[in-house]
Amino acid sequence: MNNSKLHVGLLFGGRSGEHEVSIVSAKAIATALAQNPSYDVRPFYIQKDGTWRSPQDSSVVLESGMAPAASAESANFQLPVEVNAIDLWFPVLHGPNGEDGTVQGLLQLMQKPYVGNGVLASAVGMDKIMMKSVFAQAGLAQVKYVALSRASWQRQPEIWCEHIELELGYPCFVKPSNLGSSVGISKVRDRAQLINAIASAISYDARVIIEQGVNAREIECAVLGNDRPQASVIGEITFKSDFYDYETKYTPGMADLIIPAVLPPEVAQAVQDMAVRAFQAIAGAGLARVDFFYIESTATVLINEINTFPGFTATSMYPKLWEATGIGFPELCDRLIALAQE
Protein backbone atom coordinates (compact mmCIF):
# COMPACT_ATOMS: atom_id res chain seq x y z
CA MET A 1 0.00 0.00 0.00
CA ASN A 2 2.69 2.44 1.05
CA ASN A 3 4.75 1.90 -2.11
CA SER A 4 1.82 2.59 -4.38
CA LYS A 5 1.19 6.01 -2.88
CA LEU A 6 1.52 8.94 -5.25
CA HIS A 7 4.14 11.37 -3.97
CA VAL A 8 2.63 14.78 -4.56
CA GLY A 9 4.97 17.79 -4.36
CA LEU A 10 3.06 20.82 -3.15
CA LEU A 11 4.88 23.98 -4.27
CA PHE A 12 3.93 27.19 -2.51
CA GLY A 13 5.09 30.63 -1.41
CA GLY A 14 7.13 32.01 -4.28
CA ARG A 15 8.65 35.23 -5.52
CA SER A 16 5.53 37.32 -6.07
CA GLY A 17 3.24 39.77 -4.30
CA GLU A 18 0.82 36.91 -3.75
CA HIS A 19 3.22 34.93 -1.57
CA GLU A 20 0.96 35.08 1.51
CA VAL A 21 -2.19 34.06 -0.40
CA SER A 22 -0.26 31.12 -1.83
CA ILE A 23 0.49 29.85 1.68
CA VAL A 24 -3.20 29.98 2.61
CA SER A 25 -4.20 28.26 -0.68
CA ALA A 26 -1.56 25.55 -0.15
CA LYS A 27 -2.72 24.89 3.40
CA ALA A 28 -6.29 24.36 2.18
CA ILE A 29 -5.11 22.05 -0.61
CA ALA A 30 -2.81 20.07 1.73
CA THR A 31 -5.72 19.53 4.13
CA ALA A 32 -7.91 18.28 1.28
CA LEU A 33 -5.23 15.96 -0.16
CA ALA A 34 -4.58 14.49 3.29
CA GLN A 35 -8.10 13.02 3.17
CA ASN A 36 -7.13 10.78 0.27
CA PRO A 37 -5.00 7.80 1.43
CA SER A 38 -3.55 7.31 -2.07
CA TYR A 39 -1.48 10.50 -1.80
CA ASP A 40 1.66 11.19 0.15
CA VAL A 41 1.97 14.98 0.15
CA ARG A 42 5.40 16.63 0.47
CA PRO A 43 5.38 20.41 0.78
CA PHE A 44 8.07 22.61 -0.78
CA TYR A 45 8.05 26.20 0.38
CA ILE A 46 9.68 28.78 -1.92
CA GLN A 47 10.88 31.77 0.09
CA LYS A 48 10.37 35.31 -1.17
CA ASP A 49 14.01 35.34 -2.30
CA GLY A 50 13.43 32.19 -4.39
CA THR A 51 15.10 29.63 -2.10
CA TRP A 52 13.37 26.25 -1.99
CA ARG A 53 12.99 24.73 1.47
CA SER A 54 12.95 21.04 2.38
CA PRO A 55 9.61 19.32 3.07
CA GLN A 56 10.51 19.27 6.77
CA ASP A 57 10.99 23.07 6.94
CA SER A 58 8.06 23.63 4.60
CA SER A 59 5.63 21.71 6.83
CA VAL A 60 6.27 24.21 9.60
CA VAL A 61 5.35 27.12 7.30
CA LEU A 62 2.28 25.27 6.03
CA GLU A 63 1.08 24.53 9.57
CA SER A 64 1.48 28.14 10.66
CA GLY A 65 -0.20 29.42 7.49
CA MET A 66 2.17 32.40 7.53
CA ALA A 67 5.41 33.44 5.89
CA PRO A 68 8.33 33.20 8.34
CA ALA A 69 10.37 36.34 8.95
CA ALA A 70 12.82 36.79 6.08
CA SER A 71 16.24 35.39 6.79
CA ALA A 72 19.34 37.47 6.15
CA GLU A 73 20.98 34.65 4.20
CA SER A 74 21.43 35.07 0.50
CA ALA A 75 19.27 33.12 -1.92
CA ASN A 76 20.21 29.50 -2.51
CA PHE A 77 18.86 28.12 -5.75
CA GLN A 78 19.77 24.51 -5.12
CA LEU A 79 16.74 22.26 -5.17
CA PRO A 80 16.29 20.11 -2.04
CA VAL A 81 17.20 16.42 -2.62
CA GLU A 82 13.63 15.44 -1.70
CA VAL A 83 12.56 16.80 -5.10
CA ASN A 84 13.74 13.53 -6.67
CA ALA A 85 11.08 11.45 -4.91
CA ILE A 86 8.15 13.45 -6.33
CA ASP A 87 5.83 11.72 -8.81
CA LEU A 88 3.55 14.67 -9.54
CA TRP A 89 3.77 18.39 -8.78
CA PHE A 90 0.97 20.63 -7.55
CA PRO A 91 2.23 24.22 -8.02
CA VAL A 92 0.13 26.48 -5.80
CA LEU A 93 1.78 29.70 -6.90
CA HIS A 94 0.17 32.95 -7.97
CA GLY A 95 1.59 35.79 -10.05
CA PRO A 96 5.04 36.27 -11.59
CA ASN A 97 7.63 33.48 -11.07
CA GLY A 98 4.93 30.89 -10.47
CA GLU A 99 1.79 31.40 -12.52
CA ASP A 100 3.64 32.73 -15.56
CA GLY A 101 5.29 29.63 -17.02
CA THR A 102 8.66 29.92 -15.28
CA VAL A 103 8.01 27.21 -12.68
CA GLN A 104 6.05 25.21 -15.25
CA GLY A 105 9.18 25.19 -17.42
CA LEU A 106 11.24 23.84 -14.53
CA LEU A 107 8.68 21.09 -13.82
CA GLN A 108 8.59 20.26 -17.52
CA LEU A 109 12.38 19.82 -17.44
CA MET A 110 12.03 17.52 -14.44
CA GLN A 111 9.82 15.35 -16.69
CA LYS A 112 7.11 14.92 -14.10
CA PRO A 113 3.40 15.67 -14.55
CA TYR A 114 2.09 18.80 -12.85
CA VAL A 115 -1.30 20.25 -12.05
CA GLY A 116 -2.64 23.05 -14.18
CA ASN A 117 -1.52 25.04 -17.15
CA GLY A 118 1.64 24.47 -19.15
CA VAL A 119 4.37 26.95 -20.05
CA LEU A 120 2.58 28.61 -22.96
CA ALA A 121 -0.87 29.04 -21.37
CA SER A 122 0.69 30.29 -18.13
CA ALA A 123 2.88 32.83 -19.92
CA VAL A 124 0.09 34.09 -22.15
CA GLY A 125 -2.35 34.29 -19.24
CA MET A 126 0.06 36.32 -17.12
CA ASP A 127 0.87 38.96 -19.74
CA LYS A 128 -2.09 41.26 -20.35
CA ILE A 129 -0.95 42.50 -23.77
CA MET A 130 -0.31 38.98 -25.04
CA MET A 131 -3.53 37.67 -23.49
CA LYS A 132 -5.60 40.40 -25.15
CA SER A 133 -4.06 39.75 -28.57
CA VAL A 134 -4.98 36.07 -28.23
CA PHE A 135 -8.53 36.93 -27.11
CA ALA A 136 -8.93 39.34 -30.04
CA GLN A 137 -7.79 36.61 -32.41
CA ALA A 138 -10.37 34.26 -30.88
CA GLY A 139 -13.11 36.85 -31.46
CA LEU A 140 -13.79 37.44 -27.75
CA ALA A 141 -15.29 40.86 -26.98
CA GLN A 142 -13.15 43.03 -24.69
CA VAL A 143 -12.58 46.69 -23.78
CA LYS A 144 -10.62 48.91 -26.18
CA TYR A 145 -6.96 49.19 -25.23
CA VAL A 146 -3.59 50.63 -26.18
CA ALA A 147 -0.30 48.77 -25.61
CA LEU A 148 2.80 50.78 -24.84
CA SER A 149 6.48 50.05 -24.27
CA ARG A 150 8.72 52.03 -21.92
CA ALA A 151 11.09 53.05 -24.73
CA SER A 152 8.32 54.25 -27.00
CA TRP A 153 6.62 56.17 -24.16
CA GLN A 154 9.84 57.92 -23.22
CA ARG A 155 10.40 58.95 -26.84
CA GLN A 156 6.97 60.52 -27.45
CA PRO A 157 4.87 60.98 -24.30
CA GLU A 158 2.81 63.82 -25.81
CA ILE A 159 1.83 61.83 -28.87
CA TRP A 160 0.90 58.80 -26.76
CA CYS A 161 -1.32 60.93 -24.51
CA GLU A 162 -3.14 62.34 -27.52
CA HIS A 163 -3.53 58.87 -29.02
CA ILE A 164 -4.87 57.42 -25.76
CA GLU A 165 -7.30 60.30 -25.28
CA LEU A 166 -8.57 59.93 -28.84
CA GLU A 167 -8.84 56.12 -28.77
CA LEU A 168 -10.02 55.52 -25.21
CA GLY A 169 -10.93 58.77 -23.44
CA TYR A 170 -11.36 59.04 -19.65
CA PRO A 171 -11.66 57.33 -17.32
CA CYS A 172 -9.13 54.76 -18.40
CA PHE A 173 -7.09 52.13 -16.55
CA VAL A 174 -3.31 51.95 -16.69
CA LYS A 175 -1.75 48.58 -15.89
CA PRO A 176 1.66 46.93 -15.99
CA SER A 177 1.32 44.17 -18.59
CA ASN A 178 2.76 41.48 -16.35
CA LEU A 179 1.91 41.63 -12.64
CA GLY A 180 -1.44 40.74 -11.04
CA SER A 181 -3.24 41.43 -7.76
CA SER A 182 -4.06 44.94 -9.05
CA VAL A 183 -0.50 46.05 -8.16
CA GLY A 184 0.56 49.11 -10.17
CA ILE A 185 -2.95 49.61 -11.61
CA SER A 186 -4.50 53.11 -11.63
CA LYS A 187 -7.81 54.54 -12.75
CA VAL A 188 -7.18 57.94 -14.31
CA ARG A 189 -9.49 60.82 -15.17
CA ASP A 190 -7.26 63.44 -16.83
CA ARG A 191 -3.93 63.91 -18.54
CA ALA A 192 -1.92 64.71 -15.42
CA GLN A 193 -3.15 61.49 -13.80
CA LEU A 194 -2.49 59.56 -17.00
CA ILE A 195 1.15 60.67 -17.11
CA ASN A 196 1.68 59.80 -13.43
CA ALA A 197 -0.02 56.44 -13.80
CA ILE A 198 2.05 55.46 -16.83
CA ALA A 199 5.23 56.49 -15.00
CA SER A 200 4.19 54.32 -12.07
CA ALA A 201 3.13 51.28 -14.18
CA ILE A 202 6.33 51.52 -16.23
CA SER A 203 8.39 51.28 -13.05
CA TYR A 204 6.93 47.77 -12.55
CA ASP A 205 7.13 46.53 -16.11
CA ALA A 206 8.68 47.66 -19.40
CA ARG A 207 5.30 47.10 -21.09
CA VAL A 208 2.09 48.81 -20.09
CA ILE A 209 -1.53 48.51 -21.17
CA ILE A 210 -4.11 51.30 -21.05
CA GLU A 211 -7.78 50.31 -21.24
CA GLN A 212 -11.03 52.16 -21.70
CA GLY A 213 -12.82 52.25 -18.35
CA VAL A 214 -16.22 50.61 -18.24
CA ASN A 215 -18.98 50.85 -15.69
CA ALA A 216 -19.78 47.21 -15.20
CA ARG A 217 -20.54 44.37 -12.83
CA GLU A 218 -17.60 42.01 -12.28
CA ILE A 219 -18.42 38.38 -12.87
CA GLU A 220 -16.24 35.30 -12.91
CA CYS A 221 -16.46 31.76 -14.23
CA ALA A 222 -14.33 28.75 -13.31
CA VAL A 223 -13.07 26.31 -15.94
CA LEU A 224 -11.91 22.73 -15.25
CA GLY A 225 -10.61 20.13 -17.70
CA ASN A 226 -8.12 19.49 -20.48
CA ASP A 227 -9.54 18.68 -23.91
CA ARG A 228 -13.17 18.95 -22.85
CA PRO A 229 -13.18 21.86 -20.38
CA GLN A 230 -16.27 22.46 -18.27
CA ALA A 231 -17.52 25.83 -17.07
CA SER A 232 -18.93 26.38 -13.58
CA VAL A 233 -21.86 28.50 -12.47
CA ILE A 234 -21.12 32.23 -12.54
CA GLY A 235 -20.03 34.26 -9.52
CA GLU A 236 -20.05 38.00 -8.93
CA ILE A 237 -17.79 40.23 -6.86
CA THR A 238 -19.29 43.28 -5.23
CA PHE A 239 -17.49 46.04 -3.33
CA LYS A 240 -17.91 49.66 -2.35
CA SER A 241 -14.47 50.95 -3.36
CA ASP A 242 -13.89 52.67 -6.71
CA PHE A 243 -12.46 49.51 -8.28
CA TYR A 244 -11.25 46.07 -7.25
CA ASP A 245 -7.83 47.26 -6.13
CA TYR A 246 -5.23 45.50 -3.97
CA GLU A 247 -6.69 46.69 -0.68
CA THR A 248 -10.23 45.62 -1.64
CA LYS A 249 -8.95 42.20 -2.74
CA TYR A 250 -7.02 41.41 0.42
CA THR A 251 -8.81 43.20 3.25
CA PRO A 252 -11.40 40.85 4.75
CA GLY A 253 -14.90 42.29 4.49
CA MET A 254 -14.16 44.79 1.71
CA ALA A 255 -15.60 42.59 -1.05
CA ASP A 256 -18.40 40.03 -1.22
CA LEU A 257 -18.80 36.97 -3.43
CA ILE A 258 -22.27 36.26 -4.77
CA ILE A 259 -22.69 32.69 -6.01
CA PRO A 260 -24.48 32.16 -8.27
CA ALA A 261 -24.57 35.65 -9.74
CA VAL A 262 -28.08 36.89 -10.47
CA LEU A 263 -28.04 37.12 -14.29
CA PRO A 264 -30.43 36.48 -17.18
CA PRO A 265 -29.92 32.80 -18.16
CA GLU A 266 -28.75 33.74 -21.68
CA VAL A 267 -26.07 36.01 -20.20
CA ALA A 268 -24.85 33.25 -17.87
CA GLN A 269 -24.73 30.88 -20.84
CA ALA A 270 -22.79 33.40 -22.94
CA VAL A 271 -20.28 33.89 -20.12
CA GLN A 272 -19.75 30.14 -19.78
CA ASP A 273 -19.20 29.79 -23.53
CA MET A 274 -16.74 32.69 -23.56
CA ALA A 275 -14.90 31.24 -20.54
CA VAL A 276 -14.34 27.93 -22.33
CA ARG A 277 -13.31 29.69 -25.55
CA ALA A 278 -10.83 31.85 -23.65
CA PHE A 279 -9.37 28.75 -21.97
CA GLN A 280 -8.99 27.03 -25.33
CA ALA A 281 -7.58 30.19 -26.96
CA ILE A 282 -4.60 30.20 -24.58
CA ALA A 283 -4.23 26.38 -24.87
CA GLY A 284 -5.28 25.98 -21.23
CA ALA A 285 -4.98 22.76 -19.21
CA GLY A 286 -6.40 21.79 -15.82
CA LEU A 287 -7.93 24.95 -14.51
CA ALA A 288 -8.49 28.68 -14.94
CA ARG A 289 -10.75 31.41 -13.65
CA VAL A 290 -12.03 33.74 -16.34
CA ASP A 291 -13.11 37.24 -15.31
CA PHE A 292 -15.62 39.42 -17.14
CA PHE A 293 -17.27 42.82 -17.14
CA TYR A 294 -21.04 42.76 -17.52
CA ILE A 295 -22.51 46.09 -18.63
CA GLU A 296 -26.08 45.71 -17.49
CA SER A 297 -27.60 48.68 -19.42
CA THR A 298 -26.64 47.15 -22.76
CA ALA A 299 -26.44 43.47 -21.69
CA THR A 300 -22.85 43.41 -22.96
CA VAL A 301 -20.31 40.86 -21.73
CA LEU A 302 -16.62 41.73 -22.13
CA ILE A 303 -13.79 39.43 -21.14
CA ASN A 304 -11.33 41.05 -18.71
CA GLU A 305 -8.73 38.39 -18.03
CA ILE A 306 -7.88 34.74 -17.46
CA ASN A 307 -6.08 33.59 -14.30
CA THR A 308 -4.20 30.35 -14.80
CA PHE A 309 -3.78 29.66 -11.10
CA PRO A 310 -6.58 31.50 -9.33
CA GLY A 311 -6.84 31.99 -5.58
CA PHE A 312 -7.45 28.58 -4.01
CA THR A 313 -8.14 29.19 -0.32
CA ALA A 314 -11.22 27.60 1.25
CA THR A 315 -13.11 30.87 0.68
CA SER A 316 -11.76 31.76 -2.79
CA MET A 317 -13.99 32.22 -5.81
CA TYR A 318 -12.57 29.30 -7.83
CA PRO A 319 -13.31 26.45 -5.37
CA LYS A 320 -16.55 28.15 -4.28
CA LEU A 321 -17.80 28.19 -7.88
CA TRP A 322 -17.13 24.46 -8.22
CA GLU A 323 -18.74 23.74 -4.88
CA ALA A 324 -21.89 25.52 -6.14
CA THR A 325 -21.65 23.47 -9.37
CA GLY A 326 -21.49 20.20 -7.38
CA ILE A 327 -17.77 19.52 -6.95
CA GLY A 328 -16.52 19.94 -3.38
CA PHE A 329 -12.99 21.09 -2.47
CA PRO A 330 -11.38 17.63 -1.94
CA GLU A 331 -12.96 16.25 -5.11
CA LEU A 332 -11.74 19.32 -7.02
CA CYS A 333 -8.16 18.60 -5.90
CA ASP A 334 -8.54 14.93 -6.92
CA ARG A 335 -9.82 15.96 -10.34
CA LEU A 336 -6.90 18.33 -10.86
CA ILE A 337 -4.44 15.56 -10.06
CA ALA A 338 -6.24 13.17 -12.41
CA LEU A 339 -6.16 15.84 -15.15
CA ALA A 340 -2.41 16.30 -14.60
CA GLN A 341 -1.92 12.55 -15.05
CA GLU A 342 -3.86 12.49 -18.35
Ligand X SMILES: Nc1ncnc2c1ncn2[C@@H]1O[C@H](COP(=O)(O)OP(=O)(O)O)[C@@H](O)[C@H]1O
Where does this chain bind ligand X (CB under 6 A)? 143, 173, 175, 180-182, 185, 211-214, 218, 243-244, 291, 304-305
Contact between 198 and 262 under an 8 Å Cβ cutoff? The reply is no
Q: Which is nearer to ligand X, 157 or 250 (CB)?
A: 250
| Residues pairing with 220 in the sheet | 235, 291
Q: Tell how far CA 328 is from the center of its chain.
A: 20
Contact between 94 and 18 under an 8 Å Cβ cutoff? The reply is yes
- Please name which of 90, 121, 146, 174 lies closest in space to residue 306, comparing C-alpha atoms: 121
Q: Which is nearer to ligand X, 44 or 173 (CB)?
A: 173
Q: Which is nearer to ligand X, 107 or 223 (CB)?
A: 223
Cα dist from 63 to 26, 31, 66, 121, 284, whole Å: 10, 10, 8, 31, 31
DSSP state of 81: G
Measured from the CB of residue 312, what is the shortest distance to ligand X in angstroms?
Answer: 15
Cα–Cα distance for residue pair 172/212, rounded to 1 Å = 5
Residue nearest to ligand X (CB): 244
30, HSE (Cβ side, Cα atoms, 13 Å) = 25
Those residues with Cβ within 8 angstroms of residue 209's Cβ, 6 or more apart along the chain or in another chain: 128, 129, 132, 145, 146, 147, 148, 174, 175, 177
Measured from the CB of residue 170, what is the shortest distance to ligand X in angstroms?
Answer: 12
Continuous H helices in 34-149: 55-64, 102-110, 119-126, 128-137
Measured from the CB of residue 128, what is the shortest distance to ligand X in angstroms?
Answer: 7
Q: Which is nearer to ligand X, 129 or 327 (CB)?
A: 129
Contact between 81 and 87 under an 8 Å Cβ cutoff? The reply is no
Q: Which is nearer to ligand X, 83 or 201 (CB)?
A: 201
Measured from the CB of residue 257, what is the shortest distance to ligand X in angstroms?
Answer: 13
Measured from the CB of residue 242, what is the shortest distance to ligand X in angstroms?
Answer: 8
Measured from the CB of residue 231, what is the shortest distance to ligand X in angstroms?
Answer: 19
Q: Which is nearer to ligand X, 83 or 164 (CB)?
A: 164
Q: Which is nearer to ligand X, 55 or 180 (CB)?
A: 180
Measured from the CB of residue 47, what is the shortest distance to ligand X in angstroms?
Answer: 23
Measured from the CB of residue 198, what is the shortest distance to ligand X in angstroms?
Answer: 15
Those residues with Cβ within 8 angstroms of residue 205's Cβ, 6 or more apart along the chain or in another chain: 176, 177, 178, 179, 184
Helix (H, G, I), strand (E, B) or coil at 326: coil
Helix (H, G, I), strand (E, B) or coil at 224: strand
Cα–Cα distance for residue pair 100/308, rounded to 1 Å = 8
Q: Which is nearer to ligand X, 118 or 311 (CB)?
A: 311
Q: Which is nearer to ligand X, 194 or 333 (CB)?
A: 194
Measured from the CB of residue 326, what is the shortest distance to ligand X in angstroms?
Answer: 27
